[in-house]
Structure formats: structure tokens, C-alpha cells
Homo-oligomer: A and B are copies of this chain.
């Protein structure tokens, strides 16, 4: 403790993180207890607690009551990914957004879709297909199933003007979701919709969303070659 200036919890966090990065504490090492750090740095224990909680959230350390805090022995890369609504993503690049509805059909939810939500009894859904474009060029093809038991209102919406994407975020909030990313080769249909050669490699973003365990929608977005997703570490 050599300070007379109050330390913010961010400053404490940076201090500890620095000690970890500079290997003053190595992988798996035990860190001093919060109270001790507080005394050493000359601040309140609550301040240290907030700092350590942040490091824990960031995946750099692990904390257990009574067990103390440890530098993660098996480091992980934890990144944060922000995905805007497609319209905004395109417009924020200064390009003109376009939207074209290709299909809209009430269907019994197909087996492979129900499986992704762990459903066994057949439920109805609305399948919606569309293309988003930027400056007139196809940007992504979207294939979506919306569970009409959970979102009955969607049946009365004219999806030729508003995309299901935008209607849902504006009218049907979700309480949880997950995403996965993978690469796939364009089949004839995808190639046509995206105006690329057959066999072109597309980045697929698949997202499931639900509200209190009730499934809302499954969407698969096929993005044209060259499309990149980026993530970074917070802070």
C-alpha cells in the first residue's frame, strides 16, 4: 500500500491482471485472499471483490468460497460477439438495404427442427424464407421456422414489408438463445438466391431463441462468400 489516491475497482482489476500476465502469478497459482489484497493495495474489500468478479467473468481466474481464487490452469479464449439486426448491419456500412420475401407457409414443424428444441409432439410452425440484400446484391439467405403456438400473432403479419427478423425483435422479446456457426457448400437453390456459383462456401449462422422454455424460432442465415463475423475480448 503506497497510494494516497483512491483506487477504482478497474484499477485494482488491471493491477491483478497485470500480475497474472507478467507471470507473477502463473497458471493455476493461488491468489491472495481478497481481504489481503485490499490491505496490500489500501482499499476496501468490496473494491477488490468487484475487480475479482470481473476477472472471473472474463475467464481469467476461478473463484470458490473457502477455496480462494486461482489463475485458470487451462486457459480459455473468451470473446464477445455482437450481432446487429441485418438491416442495421448493412445500413451502418452505408449501403442500401433490400429485403425480398421468398416463401411463407404454415407447416407441421419438421423432425430435424423439433429435435433442436428437444420437442417430441408435433407442433405447427410458420416457415419463412427471404433474402437480404445490400446495394442490390444478395447478402444473405434466411430460412426460418417460427413456432405459432408461442407466437400466434405472426400469422397475421404481412412479412413482405417487414422481415420476420425485425418484427420479432420489436414484438416478441426472448429470454434466451444460442447460436452456432459452420461452413457449408451452396447447393443449386442457395447458389441461385445468393447469385454465386454452386459449391461456393457459405458461412451459416444458426440461432435458436425461446421465451421461458417455449421455443420461438429457429433461423439459419446463409451468408455470401467473403462474409466475416468478428469478435473481440471485452475491455
Q: Which chain A residues have a beta carbon within 8 Å of chain B's beta carbons?
A: 20-23, 27, 57, 59, 74-85, 88, 169-170, 173-185, 199-204, 207, 211, 223, 225-234
Contact = CB atoms under 8 A, between A and B. Distances in A.
Contact of A199 (B199, B207, B227): B199
Contact of A203 (B80, B203, B233): B203
B82 A74 contact: no
Contacts of A173: 20-23
**A59, A77, A200: most-surrounded residue (chain B CB, <10 A):** A77
26 contacts: A21-B173, A21-B175, A23-B173, A27-B170, A76-B82, A76-B84, A77-B207, A78-B81, A79-B80, A79-B83, A79-B178, A176-B233, A177-B232, A179-B231, A179-B232, A180-B229, A180-B230, A180-B231, A181-B230, A181-B231, A182-B226, A182-B227, A183-B203, A183-B204, A184-B201, A199-B199
Contacts of A20: 173
A230 B234 CA distance: 18
Copies of the chain in the assembly: 2
A96 B174 CA distance: 39
Given A21-B211, A74-B88, A228 B181 contact: yes
Contact of A180 (B27, B202, B225, B228): B228
A90 to B, nearest CB: 13
B229 A181 contact: yes
Nearest to A173: B21
A117 to B, nearest CB: 15
A196 B199 CA distance: 14
B203 A185 contact: no
A204 B202 CA distance: 11
A179 B81 CA distance: 10
A52 to B, nearest CB: 15
